[in-house]
Amino acid sequence: MTDVIAANRNPARRLVRQVVLWGLVFLMSYPLLWMISSSLKPESAIFTQPGLIPERITFSNYTEGWTRLNFSFGLFMVNSVVICMLAILGNLFSCSLAAYAFARLRFPFSRLAFGLMLATLMLPVHVTILPQYIVFQKLGAVNTILPLVLPKFFAVDAFFIFLMVQFIRGIPRDLDQAAEMDGCNKYQIFWFIVFPLCRPALVLVAIFTFLWTWNDFFSQLIYLSDASKYTAPLALNLFIDATSGESAWGMLFAMSVVTLLPLFILFVLFQKQIAEGVATTGMKG
């Protein structure tokens, strides 16, 4: 602590620290800055002028990229939003119920079930994707959004369950006992007492679900084959031509920037809630 105070009182050390920190920020953000800069350059100047400042700024990559594919890029954005909203709804409903059961209810083999649930965190998605695909293929649900959103309503995200269990355990049980004395059953206690108090954890679950679902490429590539049902990540892949090598890099970078805008806006609007949720759900170190 004394070293930190001494460093703050020393202008030279404070200046060096600021320079180092800003240097690291620039280094980490350089790929993003280069992509934004390249989206404003003509196609021919992207790799011949590698600097961050374009010699000539053009927005043609945005206008042409929006309508370059067989469908408007807005359709792919809407598809992504629909899948994200349904995934958020499913996770908020199912993961909160499962977490309430693990944190508050006592049933046979509850500890074993909780341990098995945590063990699924070690399973990569590539291990479970094939059995899931076979199941949904037999159900005739392939090439629909059902395989992407339906599992969310059955509490398949163990990370979110664990996160909410940690939060619910911090809620005083006196509230449950008071509600029971007023005649509430377990479901009413969950809905009227526990669920409203879980707001910080629920916000965190919703934000992370949106981020992970929006950026998901592998699962959507496996289940979706109709171009009209593609999401934004799959649509970006259409700008790359691996056979002829004539990829539309300028349009790809431009639409990538458009795809990142919702994530950036989400972080700016909810950064306080993210910090609050992390601080109150046992995720802090």
Q: For residue range 169-183, what is the model confidence (pLDDT) as tens digits?
A: 999 999 999 999 888
51 and 182: one domain? Answer: no
Half-sphere exposure of 122 (CA within 13 A, CB side): 4
Q: List pLDDT tens digits, range 54-84.
A: 888 899 999 999 998 889 999 999 999 999 9
What is the pLDDT averaged over residues 112-125? 90
Closest CA to 70 of 280, 245, 283, 238: 238
Instruction: Give the model confidence (pLDDT) of 122-134 as tens digits.
Output: 888 888 899 999 9
For residue 108, what are its two tokens?
């046979």
* Number of residues that make up the chain: 285
Report the pLDDT averaged over residues 216-225: 94
Instruction: Note whether 143 and 230 are same-domain residues.
Output: yes
Question: Does pLDDT of 242 surpass 60?
Answer: no
> Is 95 found in the same domain as 18?
no
Residue 153 inside a domain? The answer is yes
167: in domain: yes
Please report whether residue 285 resides in a domain.
Answer: no
pTM metric for this prediction: 0.87
Q: Are residues 15 and 115 in the same domain?
A: no
The whole-number average pLDDT for the span 184-198 is: 92
Q: Do both 202 and 249 map to the same domain?
A: yes
Contact 241, 247 (CB under 8 A): yes
pLDDT at residue 54, rounded to an integer: 86
- Asked if residue 169 and residue 43 are part of one domain, the reply reads no
| 180 part of a folded domain | yes
User: What CATH number has the domain bearing residue 233?
Assistant: 1.10.3720.10
How confident is the model over 242-248, as a mean pLDDT? 66
Residue 167 has pLDDT above 80, yes or no: yes
Residue 257 near residue 41, CB atoms below 8 Å: no
Angle (CA) 212 126 102, round 5°: 65
DSSP states along 237-258? HTT--TTT----HHHHHHHHHH
Residue range 147-162: average pLDDT? 94
* Domain housing 188: 66-280
Q: What is the dihedral of CA 123, 127, 131, 133, to 10 degrees?
A: 110
Q: How far apart are CA 135 and CA 129, in angstroms?
A: 10
Which is higher by pLDDT, 50 or 8? 50
Tell me: do 139 and 238 sit in the same domain.
yes
The answer, yes or no, to whether residue 285 has pLDDT greater than 50, is no
Compute the distance between CA of residue 197 and CA of residue 202 in angstroms, rounded to an integer. 9
Largest CA distance in the chain: 74
Mean pLDDT for 235-255 is 83
Measured CA to CA, the distance from residue 164 to residue 99 in angstroms comes to 6
Supply the pLDDT for residue 6: 53
| Secondary structure (DSSP) of the chain | -HHHHHHHH-HHHHHHHHHHHHHHHHHHHHHHHHHHHHHTS-GGGTTT--SSS-SS---HHHHHHHHHSSS-HHHHHHHHHHHHHHHHHHHHHHHHHHHHHHHH---TTHHHHHHHHHHGGGS-HHHHHHHHHHHHHHTT-TTSSHHHHGGGGGT--HHHHHHHHHHHHTS-THHHHHHHHTT--HHHHIIIIIHHHTHHHHHHHHHHHHHHHHH--HHHHHH---GGG--HHHHHHTT--TTT----HHHHHHHHHHHHHHHHHHHHHHHHHHHHHHHHTT---
- Tell whether the model's pLDDT for residue 4 goes beyond 70: no
Rounded CA-CA distance 191/173 in Å is: 15
**Average pLDDT of the chain, as a whole number:** 89
The answer to whether the beta carbons of residues 61 and 39 sit under 8 Å apart is yes
Same domain membership, residue 146 and residue 11: no
Claim to verify: residue 48 and residue 70 sit in the same structural domain: no
**Number of domains into which the chain is organized:** 2
pLDDT of residue 52 exceeding 90, the answer is no
